[in-house]
Amino acid sequence: MSQEDKNITWQQHNVTKEMRQKLHGHKSFVLWFTGLSGSGKSTIASEVEKMLYKRNHSTMLLDGDNVRHGLNKDLSFSKDARTENIRRIGEVTKLFVESGTIVLVAAISPIAADRDAVRSLLSKEEFVEVYIDCSLIECEKRDPKGLYKKVREGLITNFTGISDPYEAPVSPEIIVKTDLLGVNECAEQVINYLVSKKYIS
């Protein structure tokens, strides 16, 4: 059933996204960090957010782990639940982009079609896909939360990269190789991209 059929209309308001962006003094868009568990999504997103904050930019970091404590606490790690997780994070992202905020999302988001669905919610330049590229071997070696150990002990099933799929982006805007570069260099790479493409000055 369409929204019109449900008697829901689209309300126009006085203050627009463009007016909010002007107030913030910068464009609004999302940096969508995708990658395996332990690849460095949270670390790099947080470092980039700190750099943007130092430039007086308004940001919001949505971390998959954190969102699953509240908004998405009803969702499991089944394929459908992961899709719903990303759909909801995508809709929240759209609201924050409307608010004039720079959004940073750090979520595994393993299914390419789910990420593309979020991309299609936004205008072309508003979705910046950042592939946090790190080998499974290195992620497992890091194992910052001890999850890989639990997987190997048979305590976690359906784990991304081991017993569940991860579809790497085919043409992401940015590829960050966290097993080759240090944290600061990786974050600088993202900031340099944003400057070179005139997202920020």
Ligand X SMILES: Nc1ncnc2c1ncn2[C@@H]1O[C@H](COP(=O)(O)OP(=O)(O)O)[C@@H](O)[C@H]1O
Ligand Y SMILES: Nc1ncnc2c1ncn2[C@@H]1O[C@H](COP(=O)(O)OS(=O)(=O)O)[C@@H](OP(=O)(O)O)[C@H]1O
Enumerate the known binding-site residues for ATP. Answer: 35-42
Binding segment for ligand X (CB under 6 A), chosen from 19-27, 89-97, 121-129, 175-183, is: 175-183
* Straight-line distance from the first to the last Cα atom of the chain, in angstroms, rounded to the nearest whole number: 44
* Cα–Cα distance for residue pair 141/22, rounded to 1 Å: 45
Of the candidate residues 41, 57, 68, 82, the single one contacting ligand X (CB under 6 A):
41
**Which residue among 91, 141, 144, 163 contacts ligand X (CB under 6 A)?**
144
When asked if residue 178 is in the footprint of ligand X (CB under 6 A), the reply is yes
Q: Both tokens of residue 45? A: 């997103």
99 is catalytic: no
Which tokens go with 101?
A: 């905020």
Among 106, 162, 190, 194, binds ligand X (CB under 6 A): 106
Whole-number Å distance between alpha carbons of 22 and 38: 37
- Contacts with 103 (C-beta within 8 Å, 6 or more apart), sequence order: 28, 29, 30, 31, 59, 60, 61, 62, 93, 96, 97
Nearest distance, CB of residue 39 and ligand X, angstroms: 4
Q: Which residues are catalytic?
A: 109
Residues that bind ligand X (CB under 6 A): 35, 37-44, 106, 142, 144, 178, 181-183, 186
